[in-house]
Structure 1
Amino acid sequence: MVDAVVEVFLGKLLNALQEESRVVIEFKDQFENLKSELQLMQSFLKDANRLKRKNQTLSSILGRLQELIYEAEDILADCEVQSKDQEAAAGNWSKRFSLSDLAAQYPTGKRLRKINKKITDIKQNISSYLQVPFLAPMPSTDDVLNHQVSHPVYDHTQVVGLEEDTQKIKDWLFEANHGLLAIGMVGMGGLGKTTTAQKVFYDRQVEDHFERRMWVSVSQTFNEEQIMRSMLRTLGDASVGDDRAELLSKINQYLLGKRYLIVMDDVWSLDNSWWLRIYQGLPKGNGSSIIITTRIEKVAQKMGVTEVRTHRPKFLSDDNSWLLFRNIAFAATGGDCVYPELEAIGKEIVEKCKGLPLAIRAVGGMMLCKSPYSSEWRRIADNFRQELADNDNLVMASLQLSYDELPLYLKSCFLCFSIYPEDCTITKDQLVHWWIGEGFIPLRTGRLATEAGEDCFSGLTNRCLIEVVDKTYNGKVHTCKIHDMVRDLVIDIAKDDAFSGSDDSSSRHLALRSDINGRHIKTNLKLRALLSTTKAGEVNKVSSSIAHNFCECRYLRVLDLSKSIFKRHLTGLLDQVGTLGHLTYLSLSNTHPLIQVPHSLEKLSSLQILDVSNCQSLKMLPSSITRLKKLTVLDVSHCGSLEYLPKGLGRLSNLQVLLGFRPARSSQSRGCRLAELGRLTRLRTLELLLTQGEEIGDDEVNVLLQLRQLQFLTISCFHSHGSDLVTKLDKFAPPPQLDELCLKFFPSEIGPAWLNPISLPMLRYLAITSGNLAKMNQRFWDHNTKVWKIECLMFESLSDLDEEWQMVHQAMSSLRIVKVSWCPKLESFPIEDVGFKGGVWKKEEQRR
């Protein structure tokens, strides 16, 4: 992916030259030469990158170029850090003209001249090899049009052509009576086995029929204990310290006397001894069933599946293939092909997919993000034909083409998936923070990094390269995963391009594992990112020696230690983390034991993201964090022992996301008061934790009105006390441009007066969960002069909410999605789905 590496480096170089930092300017001529050479090469690097798969010589040339770019990027980073050090020392005359600085400049200039010479030679070699002239780089069509599809436009829950398959499996389940019915779904990868199993698993009739349901992703790498822990997690039991016998006994206790359904997804192992042991411990009867999806028929047979209960998915028909493609490729127009000249080309592309759903999704997602011109579609169709001629695996050919056609910045983002284990559920925030930290995301002038990161994630989602796992009530993706065949492709590309791989001593991006080789990490001068990639319910146990070793990686940009247990106290390690001058993203979320963050973090002048969420023992943050001028994300949510944040937080003028902010009371002189938030003018997302009225001064009730870019606001009053907080909250004034508001544990029986369509005219998403709310303020219903624009609504765990649902629905005529649960006094709430103008109204049945 040398073209993507060049793109990322040029973005960083252009920013550095514009900032005109002291040391960068010292080598401005060399950096300018480097920029000019690389910009000329961009015109043919994409073609060279595709051709290198067929030619070892070209592959070797591009590999050398990529290493040179990485070396130049390291030099640039060193120059920027040195500039900051000099600026920090500017007040000290004795440090302004250090002889050591002068001595360092000579080898740096020499290295840059060598890099420029080698890159010029490589440019000539590639140009001669491809027989193409040097051309000025043309803007990518995808880059020009990306803003049109930067938001999610395709509903991934839609399936085509699986209705009969789903009904067939459901009928078998409902016929089950004695023993434990085993149903097998057998077929090649990409046929839709897992999709069908999911449709059955989440079907309302199936939910009502079974008292317990468990979904287990088995995959190629598993062990018996992991399977049982996964089963228990779906039953709500963490079971961290139990052995296998105790785990199986617990499973039996949960299922005894119950009708249950187990889905064992993607089973590979012909050795079924693990299953026989689990099977023997499961209660039988009551119509309980198991569904097994596998590519190997013998696997299903060994797990007890008979021929009469074996389902073999078929390829989609021509009509269903075209329908699936249309739904994706023309999602922006509701699945309708409004460009007649594209229909013939589209059907030609679909015909090459031979009815394989995964291939159709891949090419459909790719075409969704292309310009609607017949010349562009014809180019893709020709490239697909060529790819199929070179690759007899239809799915891999379609996925490779989809990767080749990604915008350059998305290639880097996509390859990040290569370090995650099979069937790993990945949080969107970790990915977006990683992309920001490594500079993979291009930023237009005035564009917020977090917003651009969300768009990059949507770009991969729209191309059907990411599978959505979990969403919030309003449809925003929270977690995701990738299909195992997509993972095979991304691992191969990442290994070929030295992005990541199995060798801890030379990979630039690594997953933090308990068995990671500490010596290899210490000698790995290339390492850019080290991230925790644990599966649900798992933790990393990291030895102190390994922890100290990764502090030796001087060019580390991204360090995510989340969900890790350290065998010694973290303080010593974190003191060493302060030596990582290039670090931009640090996550200590859910690490143990973390009591305090040391002052050494003030040395991380490049830090943009700091995540210490879910650290229940964390008592304080040092005042030095207020000097981290580049900080854009600060997450201290779910830190129960943290009383306040340090005074001076208002200096962090680049802050875009602040989660878990607890204002200091007047008696807490070293804490940050609410008034300081008014200086954070770039803040986009804010989570406020309020417990008593003293935390809101009389002159602070309007402070949020100063936050002109705030889009997402959460106010949580967990553990609140005193009637004065209710009084202060009622006077609170959120900014009128809010897009989403979430109220948690609201202490008053009457809703706040400012929760009305006049004060919040742009509000689209509203969630109210837990608390004492019984009635909405009268202004909430003031729809005679102004109507709500709310599209998605959630009421959850509001046991006292005593309102008439028809009034709510009348006040919010634009509702698309409704989620209501545990609101027993909400009158006349409908149980069945209701159709209404503008679409389908989705909701959850109330649980009483």
Structure 2
Amino acid sequence: MESKEIPFPIELAKYIDRDVFGLQIIEAQRIAASSCHKQIESQRIVQNLSYFCKMVDAVVTVFLEKLLGALSEESRIFSEFRGQFETLQSELQLMQSFLKDAERLKRKNETVRSIMATLRELIYEAEDILADCQLHPRDDGLLSSGWFMCICPSKIPFQYLTGKSLAEINRKIGNIKQNITSYLGVPLLNQVEPLDAQNDLLPRWSGPVYDHTQVVGLEGDASKIKQWLFEADKGILAIGVVGMGGLGKTTIAQKVFNDRKIEERFERRIWVSVSQKFDEEQIMRSILRNLGDASVGDDKGELLKKINEYLLGKRYLIVMDDVWSLDVTWWLRIYEALPKGNGSSVIITTRIEKVAQKMGVKEARSHWPKCLSKDDSWLLFRKIAFAENGGECMYPELENVGKEIVEKCKGLPLAIKAVGGIMLCKPSRYHEWRRIADHFRDELAENDNSVMASLQLSYDELPSYLKSCFLCLSLYPEDCIIAKDQLVHWWLGEGFIPLRSGRSAIAAGEDCFSGLTNRCLLEVVNKTYHGTISTCKIHDMVRDVVIKMAEDDAFFRPDGRNCRHLGITGSMLQKDNHKLRALLSTTKTGEVNKIASHTAKKFCESRYLRAMDISRSIFCMPLSSLLNQIGFLQHLTYLNLSHTHPLVQLPPSLDKLNNLQILDVSYCQNLKTLPPCIVTFKKLRVLDISNCGSLKYLPKGLGRLSNLEVLSGFKPAKSSQLEGCRIGEIRNLIRLRTLGLQLTCSDEIGDTEVNVLINLQELQHLSISCFDSHSNDDLVTKLDKLFPPQQLHQLSLKFYPGKISPVWLNPISLPILRYLSISSGNLEKMNERFWGLNDNAVWKIEGLMLESLSDFHEEWARVGQVMPALRVVIVSWCPELVSFPIEDVGFKGGVWKEETKT
């Protein structure tokens, strides 16, 4: 709390009026005495806090993680309050045995629910105090000196009020601890049992372990529907896939929709997610987006007319996924506008048979998927739970327990995936599996729905840090496509991800993302050619569970009241909520947010806001009016302003955001400059300025950002741009993992700067784009000397101006390169060193993408010979590529594609 916002306490004023100097001396002596043992106390606190990593309550764990970092890194700030923070830490330690089971108990016991809610609010208050302590002005250690207190009495109100607040929090937590036994008969231990914190803090698998697209036991369902589609010739064939939640209806429809023969039969394929809450106009716009039309500003009549024009004379397939409403007048209007004939078809997935009937599905074309057979259920479970061994159970003692668990899933694929994901992430030990099986049995005793019971079990078994990450999914609307980067950046900004010394923050965040995908709590939507998941979504039944958990913990509530996280969707009216920690754009693809000026101004009144993503938003006020107030959000760590085209410059008040870790202004086409204060953000980990066409260069001094891990869209200054950052500064960014370079002329690379990349030992992903460079021989010469580091994992060259590939693009210089993408530009041939002939070297490349290389003239057989590990190939618009096996992969629309090549 800042002294200017809170009146000076009467109690303290009374003593200061009597003897100001004496009070200051006493306070200074107390601080000095406590500071004498600062180093010893810090070590002891760090040691004690290491036992807490296994605590189930996510809020407590996150707070203790932040306190651990604060005490160990910035101990000078907390010398005044060390005793209070240590007391708080000790009380929470004694409550550990209770907190381990509290998540399950609170669903059954109102008293426990009330206790946990009170405890949660107290921890949030303590976390806000901790954050204020970190912001409070420091004077290089003088704050703890007695004489400094004498000459700076303005520090006393902050110290007094902070100490008083912490004492009150400790008193209340002490009362909770004392009352737990009398309320519940749950004794508290006087000492903490050491726990294997490492096992809980680090995910067992740091990446996707199995193929998320694999389907088991539904092949017959898909074949039946495909046969119906091939038989269609008149009118519009309506097919219904009907059944209970978690049965695999959407999976069957997806398998049909993505089938190569179906793709060849239908000239247009359209997928629309309808769900429980939908808008007729948005469904029409979704259809048009599938057809490549943004359709901004049209009314319903115009939208229907456009749909008809795009589909007229075409054979099309439309999937209406997850329809709930018995009122199908919206569909009848769309249906009337659709061209008839040519064998066009519609697939409708729904839980309600009557919905399918009302939408025109005949009984003969209604399909009811059955639950998986016993063998298929066990096969699906094995593919996930034993993915590390290719789906084979290598532990005979686990097989009977696994089959017992699978039997309880009753053949429902979603339930099997959920429990399989749990077991994948657990040690292969009998007693651990037995414990999970018993826990599942208990859940089923309370909820006979095996899908909901398995999902609840999955949540209960999450490590505490992943529970916070999982609760973030509650903000997103039904069927919303979620960008992985937004989730990871949000988690980092709020401190949900445990970080350890030397550990890459981005890598830790991606590990947490994998932790949720491996547990089947996130569904993969899109992957890049190199297998990295870029977008995801959640099943509607998973969403039901996460919303319930989020409401219970006041993490998120749909009405936005008294919660700490809020999603921006559509037209937003913000209520007063000073507790907000995160405000994020959660609109569906192709939609924008419309935010009133009154609402926008309230954003900056939430002074404890950590994460603010207002991308893809339209403000009913000048954007500058909002951004000029952003300096009040001094706790902000994640700021996303991407796709805000009115943005011309960032406000001067940005210089107050010293805690900023992630800044994303990508796709801001009108952004002309970045303020010099950017280079003072010592905590900055991610800076994304990609696709900012009007931005000429970055400010000088970027090399000071020693924590930077991701730099996208970097445009080096020319020698004449004296205020700009030269490419030579990159050599100081030794933690850089991802770098995107934008180069247009040779003057952007000095003669002494051609070696800037070679020593970036953490660099894994490099993208070089030479858009708008035209034919520039000098730039090609400089690029030929711009050697990347040998440990590079992924390389992308866009608009390369040379006719021959760079000399360093060879298997000797890049021995562990796994993914290579070359698109557009003048490339005709590969440098002879590319083929590794003189050194008998071969590439270890697994994924290759070649796009829009109209002059590229090489033999495909030669490429395959030098890349024996190649698994995924995507080739498009390379007409001079010799002997590419079109007959094996098909040719459509100028795109040649071969996947999972062996």
TM-score with structure 2 setting the length:
0.90
State the match for 2:661 in structure 1: 608
Tell which deviates more after alignment, 427-436 or 728-737: 728-737
State the match for 1:838 in structure 2: none
The yes-or-no answer on 1:37 pairing with 2:95 is no
The yes-or-no answer on 1:251 pairing with 2:311 is no
The yes-or-no answer on 1:104 pairing with 2:158 is yes
Write out aligned runs for 1:11-50 (5 A): 11-50=65-104
CA distance in 2, matches of 1:645, 1:145: 37
The yes-or-no answer on 1:770 pairing with 2:819 is no
State the match for 1:837 in structure 2: none
Q: 1:144 to 1:417 in 2, by over 3 A?
A: closer
User: Residues 656-706 of structure 1: CA distance to partner in whole angstroms, max 9, x if unpaired?
Assistant: 100000000001000000000111111111000011111111111110112
Tell which deviates more after alignment, 132-141 or 485-494: 132-141
State the match for 2:426 in structure 1: 370
CA distance in 1, matches of 2:141, 2:83: 22
Instruction: Give yes or no for contact 1:3–1:42 (8 Å, CA) kept in 2.
Output: no
Q: Paired residue for 1:211, among 267, 280, 284?
A: 267
Q: Paired residue for 2:720, among 651, 660, 667?
A: 667
State the match for 1:561 in structure 2: 614
Give the deviation of 1:604 after TM superposition: 0.5
Q: Aligned with 2:830: secondary structure?
A: coil
State the match for 2:703 in structure 1: 650
Tell which deviates more after alignment, 114-123 or 804-813: 114-123
Q: 1:309 to 1:769 in 2, by over 3 A?
A: same
State the match for 1:4 in structure 2: 58
Percentage of pairs with the same residue: 68
Give the deviation of 1:504 after TM superposition: 2.5
Q: 1:612 to 1:137 in 2, by over 3 A?
A: farther
Give the deviation of 1:454 after TM superposition: 0.3
Q: 1:146 to 1:95 in 2, by over 3 A?
A: closer
Q: Aligned with 2:154: secondary structure?
A: helix
Q: Which runs of 5+ in 2 are unaligned?
A: 1-54, 890-895
Instruction: Give yes or no for contact 1:142–1:407 (8 Å, CA) kept in 2.
Output: no
Write out aligned runs for 1:519-668 (5 A): 520-521=575-576, 524-668=577-721
The yes-or-no answer on 1:792 pairing with 2:850 is no
Give the deviation of 1:24 after TM superposition: 1.8
Instruction: Give yes or no for contact 1:821–1:844 (8 Å, CA) kept in 2.
Output: no
Give the deviation of 1:544 after TM superposition: 2.1
Tell which deviates more after alignment, 45-54 or 299-308: 45-54
Q: Aligned with 2:320: secondary structure?
A: strand
State the match for 2:50 in structure 1: none
CA distance in 1, matches of 2:211, 2:385: 12
Q: 1:71 to 1:772 in 2, by over 3 A?
A: same
User: Residues 333-362 of structure 1: CA distance to partner in whole angstroms, max 9, x if unpaired?
Assistant: 110101111000000000000100000000
Q: 1:827 to 1:138 in 2, by over 3 A?
A: farther
Instruction: Give yes or no for contact 1:564–1:592 (8 Å, CA) kept in 2.
Output: no
Q: Aligned with 1:337: secondary structure?
A: coil
The yes-or-no answer on 1:73 pairing with 2:120 is no
Q: Which amino acid aligns with 1:801?
A: F
State the match for 1:164 in structure 2: 220
Q: 1:55 to 1:211 in 2, by over 3 A?
A: same
The yes-or-no answer on 1:761 pairing with 2:815 is yes
Q: CA RMSD in A?
A: 2.0
CA distance in 2, matches of 1:470, 1:270: 32
The yes-or-no answer on 1:809 pairing with 2:872 is no
Q: 1:844 to 1:236 in 2, by over 3 A?
A: farther
Q: Which amino acid aligns with 1:631?
A: L
The yes-or-no answer on 1:469 pairing with 2:525 is yes
Q: 1:225 to 1:95 in 2, by over 3 A?
A: farther
Q: Which amino acid aligns with 1:594?
A: L
Instruction: Give yes or no for contact 2:203–2:515 (8 Å, CA) kept in 1.
Output: no
Give the deviation of 1:147 after TM superposition: 4.4
Write out aligned runs for 1:357-756 (5 A): 357-518=413-574, 520-521=575-576, 524-721=577-774, 722-756=776-810
State the match for 1:782 in structure 2: 836
CA distance in 2, matches of 1:361, 1:650: 46
Q: Which amino acid aligns with 1:692?
A: C
Q: Paired residue for 2:176, among 122, 135, 140?
A: 122
Q: 1:547 to 1:188 in 2, by over 3 A?
A: same
CA distance in 2, matches of 1:158, 1:449: 31
Instruction: Give yes or no for contact 2:285–2:295 (8 Å, CA) kept in 1.
Output: yes
Instruction: Give yes or no for contact 2:746–2:778 (8 Å, CA) kept in 1.
Output: yes
Q: Paired residue for 1:192, among 235, 248, 255?
A: 248
Q: Which amino acid aligns with 1:360?
A: I
CA distance in 1, matches of 2:326, 2:739: 51
CA distance in 2, matches of 1:276, 1:88: 75
User: Residues 631-680 of structure 1: CA distance to partner in whole angstroms, max 9, x if unpaired?
Assistant: 11001011000000000111111111000000000010000000001111
CA distance in 2, matches of 1:592, 1:168: 48
User: Residues 45-64 of structure 1: CA distance to partner in whole angstroms, max 9, x if unpaired?
Assistant: 12122111000011101111
Give the deviation of 1:125 after TM superposition: 2.6
CA distance in 1, matches of 2:534, 2:302: 33
Q: Which runs of 5+ in 1 are unaligned?
A: 835-840
Instruction: Give yes or no for contact 2:842–2:866 (8 Å, CA) kept in 1.
Output: yes
Q: Aligned with 1:578: secondary structure?
A: helix
Instruction: Give yes or no for contact 1:467–1:481 (8 Å, CA) kept in 2.
Output: yes
Q: Aligned with 2:514: secondary structure?
A: helix
Q: 1:546 to 1:97 in 2, by over 3 A?
A: farther
Q: Aligned with 1:454: secondary structure?
A: helix
Give the deviation of 1:240 after TM superposition: 1.1
The yes-or-no answer on 1:821 pairing with 2:891 is no
Q: Which amino acid aligns with 1:509?
A: H
Instruction: Give yes or no for contact 1:22–1:83 (8 Å, CA) kept in 2.
Output: no
CA distance in 1, matches of 2:341, 2:491: 50
CA distance in 2, matches of 1:138, 1:275: 60
Q: Aligned with 1:706: secondary structure?
A: coil
The yes-or-no answer on 1:261 pairing with 2:317 is yes
CA distance in 1, matches of 2:835, 2:590: 44
Q: 1:118 to 1:832 in 2, by over 3 A?
A: farther
CA distance in 2, matches of 1:441, 1:807: 46
Size of the alignment, in residue pairs? 835
Tell which deviates more after alignment, 788-797 or 230-239: 788-797
Structure exhibiting the larger radius of gyration computed from Cα positions: 2
Instruction: Give yes or no for contact 1:239–1:247 (8 Å, CA) kept in 2.
Output: yes
Instruction: Give yes or no for contact 2:743–2:773 (8 Å, CA) kept in 1.
Output: yes
Q: Which amino acid aligns with 1:620?
A: T
CA distance in 2, matches of 1:142, 1:482: 28
Tell which deviates more after alignment, 781-790 or 762-771: 781-790
Instruction: Give yes or no for contact 1:86–1:96 (8 Å, CA) kept in 2.
Output: no
TM-score with structure 1 setting the length:
0.96
Give the deviation of 1:807 after TM superposition: 1.0
Instruction: Give yes or no for contact 1:145–1:371 (8 Å, CA) kept in 2.
Output: no
